[in-house]
Amino acid sequence: MPRKLRELIQDLTAAGFQILSGGGKGSHRKFVHKNYSGAVTLSGKEGEDVKHYQEKQVKKAIEAIKQ
């Protein structure tokens, strides 16, 4: 069973990422972290299944701030 977008959002916030206010257009959300250059952008409604590239991007971002 694929993960839901809300789970990726929880992973990012647990790792210390914060959502930018007005973070994106429509269903897009932008997350930033002081130790991560750039931003992680997630699109879709919270109950939707995540796409493979979204899960990979979140995993890579969380690993980058742990180093």
> pTM to 2 decimals?
0.89
Q: Are 14 and 27 in contact, with CB atoms under 8 Å apart?
A: no
Cα distance between residue 64 and residue 3, in whole Å: 21
As a whole number, mean pLDDT of residues 28-34 equals 93
Band of residue 24 on the pLDDT scale cut at 50, 70, 90: low
Of the CA atoms within 13 Å of residue 58, those in its CB half-sphere come to 26
As a whole number, mean pLDDT of residues 30-58 equals 94
Cα distance between residue 31 and residue 42, in whole Å: 8
Q: Which helix (H) or strand (E) holds 58?
A: helix 52-66
Q: Are 8 and 49 in contact, with CB atoms under 8 Å apart?
A: no
pLDDT score at 1: 81
pLDDT score at 67: 83
Q: Round the average pLDDT of the chain to a whole number and report it.
A: 91
